[in-house]
Amino acid sequence: MIPYIAWHTIQLGPITLQVWGLFVGLGFLLGTYLATRLARARGADPKVIIDLVPWLIFAAIIGGRLGDVFFYRPGYYFADPVQILKIWEGGASFFGGIIACTIVATIYFWKKKVSFVEYADILAFGLPAGIACGRIGCFLIHDHPGTLTHFVLGVKYPDGVRHDLGLYEALLMGVVAIVFLVLSRKARPQGFYLGLFAVLYAVPRFFLDFLRIIDVRYLGLTPSQYICVALFIFGLWRLYKMYRAPASLGVDG
């Protein structure tokens, strides 16, 4: 069993850093580094990725908040709309951020006149490592408690040993990040990492959500589970399309 150690803030003199926000920021940096590394290996322009990331951070903040507002706690926010603006108090949906980032990236790639599949695939390569880092922040503040358990990776919460979904997702995405690094030793078709990430994230996340205790549910499923179904279908379609009509391989590393 894992001890319950809560770490919410870091005090640097007059400055207070939020641990969750710090790890999410580090996740963006790590994901960007890996994505630009793959871009250089493939002969793509890493500046396209670097210039896009600030917009993605902004989109993730706004989209994450709106996802929480509309998917998870509409009654709470609409009863006091001022709470929507208090982002520093927490409350963000992962998939709300992903949806917003997808919209922003699509518009950005279109304006830059570059291939969506090529650069979305490069971004997807860095996603698992970035998510793993961000979920470490979730684990440290324990904002995704699960059901009671005797599992060896259960966390000793004050009210009993529970699954910690932040920890599980950090571990799973860490493994996927390592798998991606190993796979990048050989050239892969454009769209490979995009499709594979969609499948490898959607499946475990769908089942892990059954362990959550604080999420809203519609017809027995969380909002994220419905999105996971769509993401899984997209991933299979992307992989099928790629192997039916493979894009330029490039060189991954």
Residue 204 lies in a domain: no
**Tell me, what's the pLDDT at 252?**
54
**Tell me, what's the pLDDT at 245?**
66
Residue by residue, DSSP assigns the chain as -EE-----EEEETTEEEEHHHHHHHHHHHHHHHHHHHHHHHHT--HHHHHHHHHHHHHHHHHHHHHHIIIII-HHHHHHSGGGGG-GGG----HHHHHHHHHHHHHHHHHHHT--HHHHHHHHHHHHHHHHHHHHHHHHHHT-SEEEE---TT-EEETTEEEEEHHHHHHHHHHHHHHHHHHHTTS---TTHHHHHHHHHHHHHHHHHGGGBSS---BTTB-HHHHHHHHHHHHHHHHHHHHHHS--------
**Tell me, what's the pLDDT at 92?**
86
**Tell me, what's the pLDDT at 251?**
45
Residue 170 lies in a domain: yes
**Tell me, what's the pLDDT at 158?**
93
For the chain, the residue count is 253
Those residues of the chain that have pLDDT short of 50 are 247-251, 253
**Domain, as residue range, for 71:** 2-182
Residue 226 lies in a domain: no
**What Cα–Cα distance (Å) separates residue 154 from each residue in 5, 208, 234?**
13, 13, 32
Stated pTM of the model: 0.90
Residue 247 lies in a domain: no
**Tell me, what's the pLDDT at 192?**
95
Q: State how many domains the chain has.
A: 1
